[in-house]
Amino acid sequence: MAGTAQAMHPAPLVEAEWLNDQLNNESLVVLDVRSSIDDGGDRNAFEAARIPGSRYSNYAEEGWREERDGVVGLMPDPDDLAQLIGGLGIANDDTVIVVPAGTGPTDFASATRVYWTFKALGHDEVAILNGGFAGWEQQGFETASGPAAPPEATMFSATLREELLATDEQVEASQQAGEQLVDARPEGFYVGTQQSPDVRVPGTIPDAVNLPHDGALVERDGAWYLEPERLTAAIDALELDRETPTVAFCNTGHWAASGWFQLSEVGGLSDVTMYDGSMAAWTRDDSRPVHLAGRGVVSVGELLD
């Protein structure tokens, strides 16, 4: 639980007070992932103010996701990710606390995607700072500034957990089997009144339910926090079975990571995968079905005609 005196095996979501108590723990790495996603986050912002001792990696620019075959946001090769992580001075026996900007629900998803990446690579010692850096500052904890010394690179060994990553074929099988599909996008994308430029047609995967990634996040004094009680109520309202295999998706695997984190790590669902290709990959095939409000279930090709 957050607030425990132990650094190892922290809860998936930790509070600033807990982290402040752990900053002198040599096995702890605080990883700041601010980027353009949070409107102005970059290395300059990190050097202007950061959690003491933290390290920096730009989520949007430094290789946490990649484009392949016209689909953005996919998981890179595990060896490439292991090189990225090792270059940050993170070893397999470190406990990593991922710190988003804390300025909105979408930048919270940056932290969840990095968290999911660590888990998918076999690294369980990872958590997210609830409220992010904004919450740390807002609660009055100490900050540091100025150029940060580059970390000493180390070896990080990755072992891919395929059960956390849903492929196109697995999502098709899940949809046909009637397993739980959870669309983590805001409602407009789910019903089809909004469309991402990375997705060929509007709509959602048939039979998916909508659990918007931002529904359980609330703003307090300028920082955004995930509230587990609000999340539990939303899961129960959708009547999701916590034991049924579940796939979380969105447009490009960003909001989906937040959906996965909320369902799997906080909401208590036991078997959740994340579809990193999401609707960007799903709609590449003209024969795949989508559900569009007012049209029902139609193929991608029919909507393109």
Can you list the alpha helix ranges (DSSP code H) found in 145-299?
A: 168-177, 187-191, 228-237, 255-260, 278-282
The percentage of the chain sitting over the pLDDT mark of 70, rounded to a whole number, equals: 97
Nearest to 12 by CA among 226, 185, 239: 226
Q: Fill in the DSSP letter of residue 270.
A: S
E strand or H helix that includes residue 291: strand 289-292
Q: Kindly calculate the radius of gyration of the chain based on its CA atoms and give it in whole angstroms.
A: 19
Q: Which pLDDT belongs to residue 4?
A: 38
What is the rounded average pLDDT for all residues in the chain? 95
Q: For residue 81, is pLDDT > 80?
A: yes
How far apart CA 41 and CA 44 sit, in angstroms, is: 8
SS3 296: strand
Convert the pLDDT of each residue in 154-203 to its tens digit: 999 999 999 999 999 999 999 999 999 999 999 999 999 999 999 999 99
More confident call, 7 vs 290:
290
Tell whether the model's pLDDT for residue 6 goes beyond 50. no
Both structure tokens of 161: 């957990």
Tell me the per-residue pLDDT of 107-163, one tens digit each, with 9 for 90 and over.
999 999 999 999 999 999 999 999 999 999 999 999 999 999 999 999 999 999 999
Q: How far apart are CA 252 and CA 135, in angstroms?
A: 27
Write out the catalytic residue numbers: 250
Query: pLDDT, tens digit, for every residue of 204-244?
Result: 999 999 999 999 999 999 999 999 999 999 999 999 999 99
Q: Which tens digits make up the pLDDT trace of 14-73?
A: 999 999 999 999 999 999 999 999 987 999 999 999 999 999 999 999 999 999 999 999
What pLDDT, on the 0 to 100 scale, is given for residue 181? Answer: 98
- Distance of alpha carbon 62 from its chain centroid, rounded? 16
Q: Is 112 helix (H, G, I), strand (E, B) or coil?
A: helix
Residue 2's pLDDT is what?
38
- Residue 80 has a CB neighbour count (10 Å cut-off) of 13
- Look up residue 79 and give its two tokens: 């060896």
CB 226 within 8 A of CB 130: yes
Beta bridge partners of 247: 181, 273
Provide the pLDDT for residue 8: 62
Give yes or no for residue 76 having a pLDDT over 70: yes
SS3 content of the chain, % helix, strand, coil (to 5): 30, 20, 50
Residue 5 has pLDDT above 80, yes or no: no
Q: Let me know: does 257 contact 113? Beta carbons within 8 Å.
A: yes
pLDDT at 40: 79
Predicted confidence (pLDDT) at residue 88 exceeds the cutoff of 80: yes
Q: Tell me phi and psi for residue 128, to 5 degrees.
A: -120, 140
Model confidence, pTM: 0.96
pLDDT band for 9, please (50, 70, 90 cuts).
confident
Closest alpha carbon to 186 in 232, 255, 130: 255
Q: Tell me, what's the pLDDT at 56?
A: 98
First-to-last C-alpha distance (Å) of the chain: 53
Report how far residue 126's alpha carbon sits from residue 264's, in angstroms, rounded to the nearest whole number.
Answer: 14
Question: In this structure, are residues 97 and 15 in contact, taking their beta carbons and an 8 Å threshold?
Answer: no
| CB-based contact 248:260 (threshold 8 Å) | yes
Interval 247-293: pLDDT, tens? 999 999 999 999 999 999 999 999 999 999 999 999 999 999 999 99
What is the DSSP secondary structure assignment for residue 265, as one 8-state letter? Answer: I
